[in-house]
Amino acid sequence: MFYSNAWTKCLICLIFITSGNAECPKPQVEGNVVLTNDALLMNDFPEGKEATFQCAKGYLKEQGSEIITCTSGKWSTLELTCKKKDCGVPREKPHLTYEFGEEGTLFGASARAICDKGYQLTGPSYRQCYDIGWSKIPTCEVVTCDKPPEIMNGMITEKPDKEFPEYGDVIQYSCNEGYTHIGNKSIECNEDGDYNSLPPECKDVNDIPLKPTTTISRTTTTSTVPPTIRVSGKNNDVGKHDTYAATGNAAVVGSVIGTVIIALIVLFTLYNLYNRKGARTAPIC
């Protein structure tokens, strides 16, 4: 009986000692924190052992302790919290602006590069916010046009002092003496690298037909006086036409008058015959 009680007490003590010195499992990594390099190299985590954490790449410490402790086979609660690194607004560049997304300027965000009108982008169109800052910087270069074309019978009187005109530059033309321009006297370099129009053409002033000038006059006259037929000129075709028209009208009037006179004479003769016949047949009282 004595030996049985002694073994029981020893077993209880052994269990107590073993449980009190239980090792912790390897710490689990969650969220935006990671174990330090020293903690990653550790394989055993006995009672009282500490493990150190740090913020993940692209994150900065916000608050709390980085250390946890193994106690009775369990790790203490990690109090470290981290936040995303802010790359800030990229430095200003001439004729270059940025368009940001929902993430703004925080780690992992992207920004679209936009050039002003008349400028073209050289380099990446997007910049990324990394742990060390923004990625490669693009630039905006001015748009250029081809050499201004020469013209026949004319010359360039004004142009920029450069081989290739840039956006907004204007080239002026003029024609030689005795020639006149057809089209615009100047052309301008556009934002797409083309000129806004073709250069003018210089034409000989003697080869350009003059436009006839026509004047149309309309006159309306109201009068109660009969129209007068006017005959003009012996050798004028218009006068001849008027003469023929007047002669035709006179013939028509004369024919009508003659017909009326004959009708009156016939009526007068019939009337006299009727009166004479009546006088012969009257009774004598």
Q: Domains in the chain and their CATH numbers?
A: 18-84 (2.10.70.10), 96-142 (2.10.70), 154-207 (2.10.70.10)
Residue listed under structure tokens 């009969």:
226
pLDDT band at 273 (very low <50, low <70, confident <90, very high): confident
SS3 call for 170? strand
* pLDDT per position as a tens digit, 207-265: 776 665 555 545 444 444 444 444 344 444 444 444 444 455 556 666 778 787 888 88
The average pLDDT across 170-199 equals: 95
The average pLDDT across 25-40 equals: 90
Paired with 69 in beta bridges are 50
Paired with 140 in beta bridges are 121
Q: What is the C-alpha to C-alpha distance for residues 108 and 256, in angstroms, rounded to an integer?
A: 113
* pLDDT per position as a tens digit, 80-103: 999 999 999 999 999 999 999 999
So what's the pLDDT on residue 68? 94
Least confident of 62-76, 139-153, 182-196, 206-220: 206-220
Q: Is residue 12 over pLDDT 90? A: no
